[in-house]
Chains A and B, each alone.
Chain A
Amino acid sequence: GDSVTQMEGPVTLSEEAFLTINCTYTATGYPSLFWYVQYPGEGLQLLLKATKADDKGSNKGFEATYRKETTSFHLEKGSVQVSDSAVYFCALRNSGGSNYKLTFGKGTLLTVNP
Chain B
Amino acid sequence: EAGVAQSPRYKIIEKRQSVAFWCNPISGHATLYWYQQILGQGPKLLIQFQNNGVVDDSQLPKDRFSAERLKGVDSTLKIQPAKLEDSAVYLCASRRVDGARQYFGPGTRLTVL
Contact = CB atoms under 8 A, between A and B. Distances in A.
A46 B31 CA distance: 17
Interface in B30-46: 31, 40-45
A107 B3 CA distance: 23
B101 A4 contact: no
Interface stretch (B62-70, B80-88, B103-111): B103-111
Interface in B8-39: 31
A59 interface: no
B102 A89 contact: no
Main secondary structure of the interface of A (DSSP, over half): strand
B91 interface: yes
Given A43-B4, A43-B91, A104 B43 contact: yes
A34 B93 CA distance: 16
Contact of A99 (B4, B41, B56, B91): B56
Contacts of B91: 43-44
Contacts of A44: 43, 91, 93, 104
A67 interface: no
Main secondary structure of the interface of B (DSSP, over half): loop
B55 interface: yes
A69 interface: no
A99 B48 contact: yes
A112 interface: no
A107 B4 CA distance: 22
Given A106-B41, A107-B41, A107-B42, A100 B95 contact: yes
Nearest to A91: B42
A100 B102 contact: yes
Contacts of A89: 42-43
Given A99-B48, A101-B56, 20 more contacts: A32-B100, A43-B4, A43-B91, A44-B43, A44-B91, A44-B104, A45-B104, A46-B101, A89-B42, A89-B43, A93-B100, A99-B55, A99-B56, A101-B45, A102-B45, A102-B102, A104-B43, A105-B42, A106-B42, A107-B42
